[in-house]
Structure 1
Amino acid sequence: MPEWHESARPTSISTSDSALLDYAILRIRWTWTEWRARMRHECSSCTQGGTIGMLKTKEGGYAPHAGFLASNLRSQARFHDPHQDSVFANSQSVSAYSSWLSTNGSKPPSAASSPRLPGGSAPGEHDLLATMTVHTPDVQLNLPSLVTPRTAQGKRIRYAVYEYQKLIDSSEVELSDYIRMASDIEANYKIFDAFVILHGTDTMSYSASALSFLLEDLGKTVILTGAQIPLSELFTDAIDNLLGSLIIAGHYRIPEVCVFFDNYLLRGNRSVKASSEEFGAFESANLAPLASVGTGIDVVWNEVLRPGLRPFRAHKSLSADVATLRVFPGITGKAIRAFLGPEIKGVVLESYGAGNAPRREDLLSAFREAADRGVVIVNVSQCAIGSVSEIYETGRALAALVSCSRAVPSHRLTSDSFLYSVGIAGGADMTVECALAKLAYLLSKPELTPAQVRKLMGRSLRGELTVHSPAPAYSSPVPASDRLRTLFSRVLECSVPAMGATSSPSNKSQLTLHSTADDLMPEDFDQPWPANLRDAEAAEKAILPYLLGQAAARPNALLDQLISSLDSDATSSDKDQEEARVPGAAVAASPTKVIALLNEPSTPILQTPLHIAVIAGQAHNVDLLLASGASVHLRDRLSHSALFYAARATASETTNDSNLLRIVESLRNAGAHLGEVEIERGDVGVEIARAWKRDDGIAKKLWERAADLQELERAKVALRKFLE
């Protein structure tokens, strides 16, 4: 059975190749997010089509129709309101609505989304309606823009709809389709901030699992969504699913492949399709949703994976020599041997309960023969909830297989003397869809041996399985009053000193978690405020981003101490994760608030602690922030990334040339790249021109390391156009 490689992809697509699509049109929906000022975030949404974009046929079924989705979205003001003349943009108050109604009340309902003549465009509208460039391995396209109304957070999502010309049903998806999706995301990764994939529901979990492994060191949001009822129907779940996906992709940096359905954002490789009729079609039995949408959007940041420390890339190969085998009462060794043919390299074994299977010698010998010739067998449970384990003797029999160099009678397979951890790979609580995708991914890497693949199948690479830590000792929570004392002592330590003041230990607050007798007030006056732990946490969320920003600019060890005090468990949690890393493995989040806080704005112009550390030239702090989960893809209100500030930096009293170069290298190694807006509007070109005009050797080196040759040339071309 062959492997699918990028070279096996068709070089052209014929419009006559259309077929029924429940997974249909891989449309890449590119979204741009715009702040009230000049800031924009680019976001791409790629869809394989599906029910969401279908129309009813004469026979009463549903089938895809080319171009329908884009035209339908353009006709709905909630998806396209470039001129802000819809009810969504004018209902912030009664007076605003009345004024809009008196001016626009006579217009037909579709007027809000109809195009205007260039001469009648409002300021800035031409920019919003400009075509958007979408890169594919086959061709470069300029597609019309769609722009949502402004959200409650003050942003607008700008996107375009790109349809694959070959339409397929999601039940007919192939490994080559996964690779094409990953390749298209890679081709547009530097241009857009996030990706939304419209996909049929039947195999959405399979695709989400495959993409979670193919997209190595992912630093941006990828969301798969679809619908149970097409967008063309009056009553449909398509509106909530698509609009929710666009809003989450445009507002939050969640560097994972996710599934959004029925107001819940699930980790893609944890999702399974649980219903063919209900709107809540997908479940994640062993991991709570990453986010939920109600009157607001609640993101569980403690569960979100932190971005890796290497540049993003798409792996373009999957082994097709994998299969699933479900254990059932009466299964024979002969049937297993027939199933485990010579072409099979990996098998996902669906066993009973906590990983149990019959201990008959004919079955065990069939598995042993396959394992001896290098077949990787992964044991997962047939149950939706729970994990495989070795607590039952029938489960230990499977675990002992590979460690045995010779046949062992079945009655001896219960002995604890066997190296159970070296047996058939335990799949923990992975779903079958995920285990199959992970096995195909690892077996496609020629540098890995079967033994290494077995070991990695039991480790978390993309948050696909639960890592169990030793049970913690029970202790009382820290009182809210003590937490507040510590919090405000950090405020004093991180606050900007007065002009001319010197920084010395004597000027710092000595309040600690363990207060002295002098710090304690009489009981009647020692009423803490806020009065409960929830209020204390709210105060921390409001203040800590500012403290982290202040600490990031300091040359001392204050940032180390602050992060360490906020996340004392990070080191022990990450140690196990680091052992499991293979190329492209993500770093799982520890149960800590730090990762979310590091990506919160610390200044009024939306600069994060990473921006501040770069501007201050603090190379050590930059490395620390990256290792702690800071994203290199966030931009401030001026649309500048940390890499832009690093490239245009100059030496000062607090930093030198070698530190500047080190900062740029650290950011690039972590996957940072210059933004499309920075290049196209001439910002990069101006800085390059200044560096070359001054003949500044260090400045030239900084820009040459921050951008590749193609980006430098594009920046120069953009500047020339701007000056013409």
Structure 2
Amino acid sequence: MNQENKRILMIATGGTIASKRSETGLKPLITSDELLSYVPDARHFCQADAIQVLNIDSTNIQPEHWLLIARTIEDHYNQYDGFVICHGTDTMAYTAAALSYLIQNSPKPIVITGAQKPIDLEITDAKTNLLDSLRFASCSRAHGVNLVFDGKVIAGTRAKKERTKSYNAFSSINFPYVAVIHDDHIIFYLDDKDHVTGPAVFYHHLDSKVALLKLIPSMDAGVLDYMAEHYDAVIIESFGVGGIPARETGDFHSAIERLVRSGKTLVMTTQVTNEGSNMSVYEIGKNIKQEFGLLEAYDMTLEAVVTKLMWILGQTQDPQMVRELLYRTINRDILYPV
């Protein structure tokens, strides 16, 4: 099929790109059809339809919304050649990662985009981002879940918002850009669609009982006990390459022992954005990892770890299967040699 004949479904969920000013601040009010009207040049390379599934600030995004978006794509998968999701930027990286696990092995491109400024402003990044996304979703060499923003194509599991105001808000963490888009040209750095075999696989369950504990000096380990009581999995963001505070009281050691013995899932990661964790480097991490067989995120982003655990625990509670699935590479999410 020629690029100009591609059928693309744009799915609107709200966010800054669809916002207008109100007395209480920016609020998503622009409809899906209105969004498309701002990018008339898209008619030159695709036939785009629009559907509105949400119109919310992305701060309010929940796992149920990820399931709704994935289900919408599944319901329309056979009718379209590609999909573009317009989304708020604040939780966009979480949504991109979640969709990477809910929709796997897709030969059709699924693109998430948004903007730092509303699309109805004279000076905005929204029109460029939306047009670039429609263009990428129309490309015969594109596949899988990716985030398109500021001319960069980022694997859905590798995106992180690192700037709150600038147009270059998102970076690809511990992984190269999939492609860049300049004017009407797409330059691929990773051109591997021929590796996608078989049909797309859709999943329909997530376990939202995943918690994050960000360590700070002086933290009481009782917080971990509370989390173990209320969640099925806990992610600990430690310092540097990873470790657990070793106090004379042994409070963190004891709390981790209780959590692991109770059958809950514990994953160690790092607060540092780039280069990932490796608990085997220092004694303070190596000993406790070996004692309890702790899982480790390595080079995965926090957004990927959170949503991957939700997806895994939505399929199985078996510890061995949890370990196997966490370390299985899905949409480029983990490369570290484990």
Q: Tell whether the structures are fold-level matches, with TM greater than 0.5.
A: yes
Shift of 1:279: 0.3
State how 1:274-293 maps to structure 2 within 5 Å: 274-293=162-181
Which residue does 2:240 correspond to in 1?
353
Shift of 1:304: 6.6
Shift of 1:262: 0.7
Decide whether aligned partners of structure 1 residues 280 and 63 sit closer, same or farther in structure 2, where only a CA change above 3 A counts.
same
State how 1:419-438 maps to structure 2 within 5 Å: 423-438=293-308
Shift of 1:354: 0.7
Aligned partner of residue 299 in structure 2, secondary structure: coil
Aligned partner of residue 317 in structure 1, secondary structure: coil
Shift of 1:215: 0.7
Q: How big is the alpha-carbon RMSD for the aligned residues of Structure 1 and Structure 2?
A: 2.1
State how 1:152-551 maps to structure 2 within 5 Å: 156-164=45-53, 166-294=54-182, 296-301=185-190, 306-309=195-198, 311-341=199-229, 343-360=230-247, 361-389=250-278, 390-402=280-292, 423-446=293-316, 449-468=318-337
The one-character-per-residue Cα deviations of 1:241-276 (angstroms, maximum 9, x if unpaired) are 000011111123332211111110001111111111
Q: What is the letter of the counterpart of residue 332 of structure 2?
A: G
Shift of 1:350: 0.6
Q: Distance in 2 between matches of 1:215 and 1:180?
A: 12
Bigger fraction of residues in strand: 2
Q: Is the 8 A contact 1:353 1:388 kept in 2?
A: yes
Q: Distance in 1 between matches of 2:12 and 2:309?
A: 24
Shift of 1:149: 4.4
Aligned partner of residue 251 in structure 1, secondary structure: coil
Shift of 1:187: 0.6
Decide whether aligned partners of structure 1 residues 209 and 34 sit closer, same or farther in structure 2, where only a CA change above 3 A counts.
closer
Shift of 1:466: 1.7
The one-character-per-residue Cα deviations of 1:301-349 (angstroms, maximum 9, x if unpaired) are 257793243x3232111002211111111223323212221x3211111
Q: Distance in 2 between matches of 1:291 and 1:443?
A: 32
Q: Is the 8 A contact 2:98 2:304 kept in 1?
A: yes
Runs of 4+ in 1 over 6 A off after TM superposition: none
Q: Distance in 2 between matches of 1:302 and 1:383?
A: 29
Q: Is the 8 A contact 1:426 1:458 kept in 2?
A: no
Shift of 1:72: 5.5
Shift of 1:66: 4.9
Which residue does 1:43 correspond to in 2?
8
Q: Is the 8 A contact 1:359 1:397 kept in 2?
A: no
The one-character-per-residue Cα deviations of 1:530-565 (angstroms, maximum 9, x if unpaired) are xxxxxxxxxxxxxxxxxxxxxxxxxxxxxxxxxxxx
Q: What is the letter of the counterpart of residue 188 of structure 2?
A: V
TM-score by length of 1: 0.44
Q: Is the 8 A contact 2:89 2:115 kept in 1?
A: yes
Aligned partner of residue 253 in structure 1, secondary structure: coil
How many aligned residue pairs are there?
Answer: 334
TM-score by length of 2: 0.92
Unmatched tracts of structure 2, length 5 or more: none
Q: Distance in 2 between matches of 1:71 and 1:47?
A: 10
Shift of 1:442: 0.4
Aligned partner of residue 51 in structure 2, secondary structure: coil
Q: What is the letter of the counterpart of residue 16 of structure 2?
A: T
Q: What is the letter of the counterpart of residue 283 of structure 2?
A: E
Q: Distance in 2 between matches of 1:337 and 1:73?
A: 49
- Which structure would you say has the larger Rg? 1
Q: What is the letter of the counterpart of residue 312 of structure 2?
A: L
Aligned partner of residue 355 in structure 1, secondary structure: coil
Shift of 1:461: 2.5
Q: What is the letter of the counterpart of residue 209 of structure 2?
A: D
Q: Is the 8 A contact 1:43 1:192 kept in 2?
A: yes
Q: Distance in 2 between matches of 1:58 and 1:290?
A: 40
